[in-house]
Amino acid sequence: MSASDPIADLLTSVRNASRARLEKTDVPDSRMSRALVEILKREGFIQNYRVIEAQPRAALRIYLKYTKDRRPILTQLRRISTPGLRRYTAKTELRTVLNGLGISILSTPKGLLTDAEARAHGVGGELLCTVW
Examine the pLDDT at 2 and tell me if it is beyond 80: no
pTM over 0.85? The answer is yes
Examine the pLDDT at 3 and tell me if it is beyond 70: no
CA distance 132 to 6: 20
Examine the pLDDT at 8 and tell me if it is beyond 80: yes
In terms of Cβ atoms closer than 10 Å to its own Cβ (0-12, 13-18, 19+), residue 63 is: middle
Q: Which amino acid is at 99?
A: N
Query: Roughly what angle, to the nearest 10 degrees, separates helices 31-42 and 6-19?
Result: 40
Look over the chain and give the mean of its residue pLDDT values, rounded to a whole number.
96
* pLDDT tens per residue across span 79-121: 999 999 999 999 999 999 999 999 999 999 999 999 999 999 9
CA distance 78 to 29: 20
**pLDDT score at 54:** 86
CA distance 79 to 74: 14
Q: Are 15 and 77 in contact (CB under 8 A)?
A: yes
Residue-range domains of the chain with CATH: 6-64 (3.30.1370.30), 77-131 (3.30.1490.10)
The H helix count followed by the E strand count for the chain is: 3, 8
